[in-house]
Amino acid sequence: MKKKYSIGIGLNLFDARAILLGSDKKVILEIEKPRKNISANETIKVLLELFEEIISKAKNYKKEEIEGVGLALGGIVNTKKGKVYWPQKQYSSYAYISLPLKEYLEKKFNFPVTIENDANSCVLAEYILNFSEYKDVIYMFSGVGCGIIVDGKLYRGKDGGAGELFLNSTKRMESELGDFSFFRQWPVDLGIVKKAKEVISLGKDTSLIKRITPTGELHLKDIFEEAKRKDKVAREVLKEAAFSLGVKISFLLNLLNPEVVIIGGGLEEAGEFFLDECIDTTKEFSFSEMRKGCRIVFSQLGKSATSLGAALAII
């Protein structure tokens, strides 16, 4: 029997990576690139660089042995058409630009390409490699979107875009029943960096001040590290973010009644304090019968989840 391989390219909050995966689910080759300025142009640039580099690095493997290339990235992904839709802010609402990435990449590199949403790829990888004994699993990719396994199968919805956890933002976000602005699109870091800077500007005593760069930047990883050192401001900011994420998880617990909820997309680096706060929030907001027996855990694959899921989708 001939050996078969697949290529997986995944883009994360902090980095991007490409792998060559064997049919035995073992990583043979790997390339990693840091990400600093996440934008549409940067995403395409990194994607093309990784595609070219992993193919070059895999030149000792026969092309006919590589079954295809899986690509996992953010956005609303139509898996059938091979298009990704990225939201672009226009005044108070969003418009979506459509990119036919599958067609473009297949013509450019002459490989069959499958495009998948990043959260879908992550839940697929975690399910296959770590949670296969369960049937209903949710992967929280930050607080922006989620990947869903229902009855042992990846749930993509009608066109492949299922799992987005926000509403289009409009001028009117409330009714007599309440304020719905909580469901507007969130930043990928749950607004942690912005909130930390606001608290620092109030003059509170915190070691985060030493983490600010000469150009005024503060990185999410630095906040995570200071929270683990029990910095009060860092923990205050993370507690608020964990509360918001916990409310969303509670909604999904009540809606889908999963067996496992995995928190990832970069947030798995936040530490046990953050996870405990999320779990405590779900105890407050979800029905006990829906939550009973459900495991809420950090991603075990971390930043490898997207590229692994993309490659596993091929094999």
What's the confidence (pLDDT) of residue 37?
67
User: DSSP class of residue 3?
Assistant: -
Q: Is residue 158 in some structural domain?
A: no
| Domain ranges, residue 87 | 5-131+303-314
Same domain, 115 and 23: yes
* Identity at 30, one-letter amino acid code: E
What's the confidence (pLDDT) of residue 90?
61
* Residues composing the chain: 315
Count other Cβ atoms within 10 Å, centred on residue 39.
Answer: 10
Same domain, 275 and 202: yes
Count other Cβ atoms within 10 Å, centred on residue 156.
Answer: 19
Same domain, 264 and 309: no
The contacts of residue 133 (CB under 8 Å, 6+ apart) are none
Backbone angles phi, psi at 211, to 5 degrees: -85, -15
What's the confidence (pLDDT) of residue 38?
67
Gap between the terminal Cα atoms of the chain: 15
Same domain, 236 and 310: no
Reduced DSSP (H G I as helix, E B as strand, rest coil) percent helix, strand, coil of the chain, to 5: 40, 25, 35
Q: How much is the pTM?
A: 0.92
Backbone angles phi, psi at 138, to 5 degrees: -120, 135
Domain count for the chain:
2
Alpha helix (H) residue ranges in the chain: 40-57, 101-109, 118-129, 192-201, 220-228, 232-256, 272-285, 288-291, 305-314
Q: Is residue 195 in some structural domain?
A: yes
Same domain, 285 and 307: no
What's the confidence (pLDDT) of residue 94?
59
Q: Is residue 156 in some structural domain?
A: no
Count other Cβ atoms within 10 Å, centred on residue 57.
Answer: 15
Same domain, 10 and 127: yes
Same domain, 85 and 191: no
Same domain, 261 and 220: yes
Same domain, 219 and 310: no
Q: Is residue 87 in some structural domain?
A: yes
| 6 to 113, 160, 266, 314: CA distances (angstroms) | 10, 21, 24, 6
What's the confidence (pLDDT) of residue 91?
60
Low-confidence ranges of the chain (pLDDT < 70): 1-2, 37-38, 87-95
Give the strands of the sheet with 27-34, arranged side by side. Answer: 27-34, 15-22, 5-11, 66-73, 113-117
